[in-house]
Chains A and B, each alone.
Chain A
Amino acid sequence: MNKMKLVMVGNGMAGARTLEELLKIAPDVYDITVFGAEPHANYNRILLSPVLAGEMTIKDIMLNDVDWYEKNGVTLHLNKKVAKIDRRTRKVVAADGTQAGYDRLLLATGSNPFVLPIPGAKLEGVLTYRDIGDTNVMVEAATKYEHAVVIGGGLLGLEAANGLKTRGMNVTVVHLMEWLMERQLDRTAAGMLQKSLEAKGLRFLLNTQTSEIVGGDDGRVKGVKFKDGRELGADLVVMAVGIRPNTELAESAGLHCNRGIVVNDTMQTYDPRIYAVGECVAHRGVAYGLVAPLFEMGKVCANHLAHFGIGRYAGSVISTKLKVTGIDLFSAGDFTGADGTEEIVLHDPEGGVYKRLVLKDNRIVGGVLYGDTVDSSWYLQLLRDKQDIHEIRDHLMFGQNHLGNTGHQGRNKAAEMTDPMEVCGCNGVPKGAIVRAIKEKGLFTLEDVRKHTKASSSCGSCTGLVEQLLASTVGGAYQPQQAKSKPLCACTDHTHEEVRKAIREHRLLSISAAMRFLEWRTPDGCASCRPAINYYLLCAWPHEAKDDPQSRFINERAHANIQKDGSFSVVPRMFGGVTSPDQLRRIADVADKYKIPTVKVTGGQRIDLLGVRKEDLPGVWRDLDMPSGHAYAKALRTVKTCVGSEWCRFGVQDSTNMGIELEKALWRMYAPHKVKMAVSGCPRNCAESGIKDVGVIGVDSGWEIYVAGNGGIKTEVAQFLVKVKTREEVLEYAGAFLQLYREEARYLDRTVHYVRRVGLDTIKKKIVEDADNRKALWARLQYALEGEPDPWKERAAGKDREEYQALAEPA
């Protein structure tokens, strides 16, 4: 079959990213030809400022070199500007006569810097700041000349000014408006920024309009004249007064343009064969000049070109970070403080910190941070997810709670860390290695960094730090993933919620049925989606959906925990942590018989037998004759208890028996992640109920129930849900909460993540205030657990025998 022909005009970041996405999901659909006007392959334009400042080289910022195009079978025409599109015969013609026919055309022509229409704008030594060529001219000029004037006090102008200053020039920034970066900053933050830039030696003329650029006899710029009559000497003038979408080619081809090439949500222009992405487009009336939205567009466009056609681009919330070393600044959304908005402001002029969040209807709509941008990713996520913040309002300003986070020496400000300091304690990755990888490998997303460096890929406690490093290295190009619309995995564009809904509403009972119905891109999914779908099926259709052992992680498939040497560990269930001499004797006998090297008491008051050969597991279970402890599963693990009123002189409730009752009612319960519980017999709380998924604390008049605590990666104190009187109520409330978690949480979310996402108020409404709903939830959980077998007993009796048997050694 003949491949379709795809031609791309413009070889910048947006276009190349679209091709990358396309090649990833549909490598064989198109023969691809690319025209680029610049002599370079695709480079990371947002890192031109560090190049200008001498912190990086051109080589460092190449994203796709010429080899990449060759390797992927893409025909690349560099230095060739396309002059004409012939839509009738479907071909493009370059200025030098090179032609290429297309079935689909992708325009990624980017934008042009705006040149002020004033006398002298064409003099030698007057330039704009857009590409490698401009950067090289500036670097060159800095070695020969002394005085530079930068017209424009926006993001780009300030980065240019800083770069030239670093290279030793005297730099004055001329700005038309009352304060710097007026589109991203309010007056206060801009004032603080100006002060720190002045401390670096930059000079500023605000409220100043340039009227003329004056040339010398040699034809080179020698000064700048302003409208108010003042003059300033200059050997170099950089105009950074904005960009205009480059629509020239599109317009000449008769495509509809309105402040950009007009595209729909699938990035198609008025000619459906012609797509456009990047700075050249106008989408829903908005033209974007930052990188992050371009990547989102690229993804949607690639998806459509590949005929998947599910993705829609719905516009972007953009954020800004200034890439000037030593200055921490962030802004996002609408911070103008329009009608109906309110503000929370924290201002410490002496300490150089300013934070302003603008709220509307309990949602963040905009914000400006100066000096302390640690929590910018978090705020941006709250903003983009439109999350209700009224519950966390009192500590919103102080950022995401980093207390109790372990593995990186208690640090939570990446900027203050030195290069050799360890960011990821699981994989031993220092800050320097992460920053180097981001720069050299052109990484833009958390997922990229995880793949390349392993940082934040294990327990995830350093995710916040890695996000900060991304934000400070690539600036506004880093956008945290929108949690609410995050696809389940790379095999689909559907979110967890969409997958669950489809399973419920269309009565999907097997993984293959779900993948077929939801048009999975891969034939049999991956190790991320298969376990999630398997859980969602079993949760939605207990006793009906078909469990797929091959879609379960080895621990749940083998019903034991795999260890680093490939052996397994066995933790028998002891309800409420109570055992007997008879059980202990059996455990001891099993340890002897199967030569089990280590016997250990676990954190959850159980006994762990470590180093069991897989072949021995069924025999071990048969001889133990104890129920499975599910220490290997995303399921109810243990109910930890204190001694309670039966023996303890302080105990006011019988916590041990309450714990036994809970564990007997809830064991065999699978969940999105592991579930740990505890019951204490008095507020001294010896069972540590405050850091459990469900923690119960006995008081004289009844029981207090706490939920969504966590003692792991990040210590999280459980939140008070309700106080009840009777043991039956404890069972009903705890069970209802866990069923709600089972039905609504995303796979691999612990209760803390789930409750943080939906808010404790929502939980209370559904469990505490709505008795009917609570009873229905509890009944659904009991139905799901009804008749659920003990997996060890079944396997001790011969089920899944092959799973545990090696094949005979070949002779």
Chain B
Amino acid sequence: MAEALTKSREPACVARWIKVCRPEDIPELGARMIRRPGGDIAVFRNAEGECFALLDRCPHKGGPLSQGIVFGRSVVCPLHGWIVGLEDGCAEAPDTGCTRSFPVKVENGGLLLQLPD
């Protein structure tokens, strides 16, 4: 069990970078959603042009974060108003819980997302 836990924490060597869209395909202060068998992913862009990617499931009751209102570096879940951090996927206190976040980068005008295999 301990070994399995350690393994799952080593993303770099097995992960790959995938181009998902151009940053400007995501509306400013908005999000787009990627349907995916392992769980949909939401990609966000804020007013500063920073992009983020989270598993599209609120840590509260699984609401689609891609449908929420984005401000600063946060998104508000459309179902019950939890505020989730775009960088780490964690709910703002006093709520607790995190959804998975994925590394992103912009290269040659494309938004790349790092997905585990």
**Which residues in A have some Cβ–Cβ distance to B below 8 Å?**
441, 451-452, 457-458, 522-527, 530-531, 549-554, 558, 562, 564, 566, 802, 806-811
Contact = CB atoms under 8 A, between A and B. Distances in A.
B113 interface: yes
A526 B75 CA distance: 9
Contacts, number: 84
A661 B33 CA distance: 41
Contacts of B78: 553-554, 562
Q: Which 4 residue pairs spanning A and B have beta carbons closest together?
A: A527-B76, A566-B64, A810-B18, A554-B67
B67 to A, nearest CB: 4
Interface of B: 18-21, 25, 27-30, 32-36, 40, 43, 46-48, 61, 63-64, 67-72, 76, 78-81, 83, 94, 113, 115
B71 A530 contact: yes
B47 A524 contact: yes
B74 to A, nearest CB: 8
B19 to A, nearest CB: 8
B71 to A, nearest CB: 5
B83 to A, nearest CB: 8
Contacts of B76: 526-527
B94 A451 contact: yes
Contacts of A527: 68-69, 71, 76, 81, 83
Contacts of A553: 69, 78
A806 B72 contact: no
Given A554-B78, A806-B35, A525 B68 contact: no
A526 B71 contact: yes
A807 B25 contact: yes
Given A451-B94, A452-B94, A807-B25, A522 B72 contact: yes
Contacts of B67: 554, 558, 562, 566
Nearest to A564: B79
Contacts of B72: 522-524, 526
Nearest to B32: A807
A566 B30 CA distance: 17
B65 to A, nearest CB: 10
Contacts of B71: 522, 524-527, 530
5 contacts: A457-B81, A523-B47, A524-B29, A524-B46, A807-B43
A250 to B, nearest CB: 37
Contacts of A457: 81
Contacts of B21: 807
B20 A810 contact: yes
Given A551-B69, A806-B34, A807-B25, 15 more contacts: A451-B94, A523-B47, A523-B48, A526-B76, A527-B69, A530-B71, A549-B27, A550-B28, A564-B63, A566-B64, A806-B40, A807-B32, A808-B20, A808-B34, A810-B18
A388 B56 CA distance: 50
A566 B63 contact: yes
Contacts of B63: 564, 566
Contacts of A522: 71-72
B34 A550 contact: no
A460 to B, nearest CB: 13
A441 to B, nearest CB: 8
A564 B61 contact: yes
A811 B67 CA distance: 24
Contacts of A523: 47-48, 72
Contacts of A451: 94
Contact of A811 (B18, B30, B69): B18
A524 B71 CA distance: 6
Contact of A530 (B20, B36, B69): B69
- Which of A531, A552, A564, A811 counts the most B-chain CB atoms under 10 A from its CB? A564
A525 B46 CA distance: 12
A446 to B, nearest CB: 15
Nearest to A550: B29
Nearest to A512: B47
A527 B92 CA distance: 14
